Amino acid sequence: MRVPCRIVAEVLLKLKEEIKPGVTTLYLDAMAERLTRKHKAVPAFKGYSGYPFSLCCSVNEQVVHGMPNNAPLIAGDIISIDFGAVFDGFYGDAAITVPVGNVSQAADKLIRVTEESLYKAIEKATTENRLFDISNVVQVHAESNGFSVVRDFVGHGIGHNLHESPQVPNFGRAKQGIRLKAGMVLAIEPMINEKGPAVKILEDGWTATTIDGGLSAHFEHTVAITENGPDILSML
């Protein structure tokens, strides 16, 4: 799984460098697919449940599963890019949220707190802990900063399939849930909203947005649990 995860990390890093005002999300999608195929890997999302693109691009109030389009990014936007790859039957999955040019203080804080909540969650991915220790630390960090946790989407086990058990919610009670064991691999993915937690799906059948128009941020890593602690596979 290190191979597909490293490819995902490299692709996201290259896409991040391209994100600036004027760039379209369709351009980012094409770039993600080209870079992935160069590594002899296959984009994981394309064709998954009929999803038509390689990349998910969720701008501003879009939470997840936004579809690439022709609209240029604008300074002040925030964009979440979520990408998966398959290599030799194994999956990798990761996401980042990136500011487009200068963004508001609120947007900046949302991005920072969401990324912090991911790394706090990853620290909990050890054999001493239970699953909802991960969930709880995300919820506590987000809510103590005045934000809310999306409940309609969750992280997941990952391996021979993109989505495996267990589900990894971003809210829950510490010391509850299954015991974490060495060898488990989880895609941990906090989705944090500036205002309320509620989301709706647009008519395209995919794009999830906040119902109140508040901003949303998303960070994800594929993380292996080992006897020596968490191993972030999707980090270069």
Task: State the residues that interact with Co ion by CB under 5 A.
Answer: 93, 187
Residue 190 beta carbon to Co ion: minimum distance, rounded to whole angstroms: 11
Question: 103 or 224, CB closer to Co ion?
Answer: 224
Q: Residue 12: CB partners within 8 Å, gap ≥ 6?
A: 81, 83, 94, 95, 96
- We find the least distance from the C-beta atom of residue 78 to Co ion, in angstroms, to be 19
Q: For the sheet containing 164-168, what is the strand order?
A: 164-168, 155-157, 185-188, 221-226, 229-232
Tell me the closest approach of the beta carbon of residue 34 to Co ion, in angstroms. Answer: 22
Question: What dihedral do alpha carbons 126, 129, 135, 138 form, nearest 10°?
Answer: -60
Let me know: does 175 contact 207? Beta carbons within 8 Å: no
Measured between alpha carbons, how far is residue 124 from residues 29, 97, 166, 219, 230 in Å?
A: 32, 22, 16, 16, 8
Task: Give 73 or 187: the residue with its C-beta nearer to Co ion.
Answer: 187
d(CA 189, CA 223): 10
Cβ closest to Co ion, residue 61 vs residue 93: 93
Quick one: 95 or 103, whose CB is closer to Co ion? 95
Task: Choose between 28 and 168: whose C-beta lies nearer to Co ion.
Answer: 168
> DSSP assignment, residue 180?
P
Distance in Å, CB of 20 to Co ion, minimum: 26
Q: Least distance (Å) from Co ion to the CB of residue 154? A: 9
Residue whose CB is less far from Co ion, 56 or 100: 56
3-state secondary structure of 140: helix
Q: Write down the least CB distance from residue 75 to Co ion, Å.
A: 29
Q: Please, are residues 168 and 151 in contact by the beta-carbon 8 Å criterion?
A: no
Residues 6+ apart with CB under 8 A from 213: 61, 195
